[in-house]
A and B are shown apart, each in its own frame.
Chain A
Amino acid sequence: MSKNGSNLRFIFTGGGSGGHVSPALAVAAQLKKELPDAQIIYAGIKGKAEGIMVPKAGIPLKFVNSAPMPGKNPLKLIKFGFIMATGFLKALLIILKFRPHLVFATGGFVSAPIIFATAFLRKITLGGFKTKILIHESNVHPGKMNMMAARAADAVAVSFGETIKNLPKGKGFFSGYPVRNMVAQGEKEKARKELGIPQNGFTVFAFGGSQGARTINRTLANAAPELLKYPDIYIIHGTGKPFGESWEYHGYEDVNEIIGKMDEDVDRQRYVVKDFIDNMELYYAASDLIIIRAGAGSIMEVCNLGKPSIIIPISSVYSDHQTGNARYIERAGAAQVLYEKTDPFKGITTPFLDTEEFVKAIVELRNDPSKLEQMSQKAATIFPGKPAEIIVSHILHLCGKRDKPQIVEGKEYQNDRILGLDSVQLENFLKAVKGGKKPPLEEDEVKLLKNKIDTYFTSSSTVLRTRALRIAGLAKYCELFPIVINCAGSPKEKPFVRRDAFESLQSLVFCDKSYKEEVVKTTVTGLSDPYYETRFQAGKLVRIFAEIYEISSSERKELLYRLYRNLDDRCFEVRVESILAVASIETEKNKAIQNFEKCYFDKVWKVRKALFRGYEILVRRGIITSEEALVEFDKILITSNGYITEYELKKQFNNSKSFIIGKEVK
């Protein structure tokens, strides 16, 4: 190795989509500029974006095998394991042959074989193998694979300041997202001339990535007649093109079909639809407003150009990374975010965007040039510094060629707490909020949360649907009330769904009293549900709505008939809740006492415990007198096989700790 480090060797990896390849290429270009003799090779997989982009940039490309993580299907898991194993071996060969000084990865599953092979070599040689690993993370919330890779890496460059705290300590540093050299800002007029766009119009450029985005395509096509009523609006629509054969969605055809079906004439002079755009820079430069997906690459390009944008993140059950990215830009004041929806009311499971909302957002921005100006200024300042240069200086530092570079601070914005959580974590988080352990949700968070619940609810997984129901209850998602009632009463739903629907109703009944009749009717069917937990939750619901509804005598009769029958239920939880429910709605004391007598010697003591509580409620409601209740108390078997142990030392510990820190310790 020569002294000036010109013989350094690097492996770049990462891919799958253009969003992973282009930052790697930007860094590679910068590296070549600083070290013209450095050897760089690129590792990717066949048939993906890197196959086209990397040779264009003049970097030799080697292929490894890799695949994204599959679900729980064992056959697919075996196939996945096989692919990863061969990919790992290929990566080992590449690394051993090339012996790089540093591996630079932009994340995604494509980079996994190279990273793990390098980490493996370093581990088995106990540090004798000195190749460094540097990762660039492009999203706000790193994926699972990237978190694993981050543990093996020497350093992780992040695009968003707030990502650092999710990473292993001391590894993260802010760089920003390296983008290709683009047309500078002030060249709007020149670009418009070149593309034949009127100079004084309001130009909207929508582009959903090279493969197209269904939501953007359909919404824009549907909104086009409405938008074109404003004579100055000029729309350029990049629909995307299917990439390989696996992609079943063909944006260009889809859009033309929608327009063809329309009654109104669409002015195709001002609504230009293109399936493939190769001079992106020009279109970016020519436009006043850009509509994009929230992939890290697109939003960084748009922000670096200082363009205002409307961002439409992909809604996904499994990951929030696009929403996270979009929110970051929105909080910085550089964009407006519109969320895709699914509609649990109409059962629409394909995400869509409300056309009216979409039109309104565009028109409002068109009418407010000062806001556009403000957004575009903010966009230009979100990502300070020169990402590629920062990363290259860190690369050279890791190779021992340069001193530790100065750390650039990335801007941090207050985070939405519900993003980046999976459904289980979300449920636990909401429980903590409800219990007062965490501060309540803000307005924006509620909006995101409702959107998430919709997505869960329309998903095909029963587990996610049950969770959606429970979360809807915890979050008091009142708009969902009628649907939850429907779920609770439908015998076609799975037992867990009915159970959780009733559980959710227990908090939703406080939303709106006008659904009283439906709620009572559903509860009556719920009380004779074949699944015991549903009967149990329905009984609990009776106790809760008894306090807020005026129950008519016929409804009471109907409910009591089922509740008294449930006192003989073979599940003790149903008996417990039936007792409490009876106590909450019964008006005839003799009937209550007579029926309760059946449970005086119940073999599960929790039922007898409920009797005491039941009589307590009856006394409170003034149905029976306290003397009468005490007479009944004496008849109930009071010995049981349950008791609670108490660890006296732990209790003292908690008491003393509470005293010292001045706060209740649990």
Chain B
Amino acid sequence: MFHYIFEIVRESGGPAVFGYITSRTLVAFVSAFFMTLLIGRPIIIQLYKKGFRSFERSYGDINSQSKKGTPMMGGIIMFITGIGNAILWCDMTNPFVIVLIISAVWFGLFGAMDDYLKIKHKNPDRGLSRIVKFSTQILFGIALAIFIVHPSISPLPSNIADGMQVPFYKGILFNSPFLVALWIIFIIVYSANSVNFADGMDGLAVVPSIFIFIVIGIFSYIIGNFIHAQHLLYHFIPGSGEIAVFSGAIVGAALGFLWFNSHPAEVFMGDMGSLFLGGTMGTAAVLIRQEVVFIIAGIIFVIEITSTFIQENIGFKNFRRILYRAPLHHHFHHQGMAESKIVARFWIISAIMAAVAVITIKFR
């Protein structure tokens, strides 16, 4: 919204500084953060009053009793301020921004539905069924894949749209619309679920998500800037710089959410928050076609989802446990490590991996 105002100001001879992507990103970040602080507490109180409270859930011997009653579905706070600020500060005519907002609404809505059903049935296992969850994710993945790969509607240059890019390699690995479409669907399903799995301890899912959005912001700024892209040997994608502004808004909102969610948490993000974060970050990574960088930066999510997969599909199928517990953070918790310790260590790992992801810019 403000983008129009700045445009008008610039055209009538005023200062252009507010129109720059970098400055809008920062402003979006700051305003999202403070707005989250502002509306955070009233929303938490409302959630509690409306009965959106978490219930005890047995993870084997892990004592989750003490967290019973914490307001959940706090993802709605991030959702409101993140999307609100994106609309305020982004160029709303930009196709990337529109796709991102659609993805946020899509995943946020289904996440909210899941939370609502869990509360309604007073049973954490009676949210949306697995099939419904997966089909919404796959459906969005298919739509996004078609949008990216189909030459007539794709906002990307055609050689990039159906090309596979990997870090440490300048060119495009191969061009194949079909394989790339499959890859995109996989990334969407993976990213939507990964945050969901990691969201088991206070602040465990939010901070790695913040790092990922920072990495995505940096990349999209570079790729969306003709000079930087040429200089750093990236394939220029016109208009992708707006994703940085969007990322700024989400990072601000997520950081504001961490204000309340940090250990000991006063609110949980719930499926609404995790699906919303996971879905949008996957979409953003696909839009700038840097999925591998996204996976590297989010290695924590990879570990969490893989450990669950190993435990359930290899271990339980053979009637034995491979890890003590899954996902991995419960494995450490079972060994007696304090929650805050595990969370801090996971943050450290994700910070390092985010740095590695950024370094790949130079090593090509």
Contacts and interface: CB of A to CB of B under 8 A. Distances in A.
B57 interface: no
Interface stretch (B43-51, B100-108, B183-191, B331-339): B331-339
Contacts of B264: 645, 647
A641 B337 contact: yes
A640 B336 contact: yes
A494 B320 CA distance: 8
A462 B316 CA distance: 11
A642 interface: yes
Contacts of B363: none
A643 interface: yes
Interface in B300-357: 318-321, 324, 335-339, 341
How would you classify the secondary structure of chain B's contact residues: helix, strand, loop or mixed? loop
Contacts of A642: 336-338
A426 to B, nearest CB: 16
Nearest to B202: A645
A462 B335 CA distance: 28
Contact of A650 (B66, B319, B335): B66
Interface string B255-288: 0000000011000000000000000000000000
A259 to B, nearest CB: 44
Nearest to A497: B319
Contacts, number: 43
A495 B66 contact: no
Contact of A641 (B66, B319, B338): B338
Contacts of B319: 462, 466, 494-497
A467 to B, nearest CB: 12
A604 interface: yes
A605 B321 CA distance: 22
Interface in A618-646: 640-643, 645-646
A10 to B, nearest CB: 34
B338 A495 contact: no
Interface string A640-666: 111101110010000000000000001
A531 interface: yes
Given A604-B335, A606-B336, A645 B320 contact: no
Given A647-B264, A650-B66, A496 B320 contact: yes
Most A CB contacts (10 A, CB to CB) among B263, B319, B337, B341 go to B319
Contacts of B339: 645
A640 B264 CA distance: 20
A647 B264 CA distance: 9
A572 interface: yes
Interface in B114-152: none
B335 A606 contact: yes
Nearest to B69: A650
A533 interface: yes
B321 A533 contact: yes
Contacts of B318: 494-495
Given A496-B319, A531-B320, 19 more contacts: A462-B319, A466-B319, A494-B320, A495-B318, A497-B319, A532-B321, A604-B335, A604-B336, A609-B336, A641-B336, A641-B337, A641-B338, A642-B337, A642-B338, A645-B66, A645-B264, A645-B339, A646-B66, A647-B264
27 contacts: A462-B319, A466-B319, A494-B319, A495-B318, A495-B320, A496-B319, A496-B320, A497-B319, A531-B320, A533-B320, A572-B335, A573-B324, A604-B335, A604-B336, A606-B336, A609-B336, A641-B337, A641-B338, A643-B338, A645-B263, A645-B264, A645-B339, A646-B66, A647-B66, A647-B264, A650-B69, A666-B65
Interface of B: 65-66, 69, 263-264, 318-321, 324, 335-339, 341
The 5 tightest CB contacts between A and B, nearest first, are A494-B319, A495-B320, A642-B336, A496-B319, A606-B336
Interface of A: 462, 466, 494-497, 531-533, 572-573, 604-606, 609, 640-643, 645-647, 650, 666
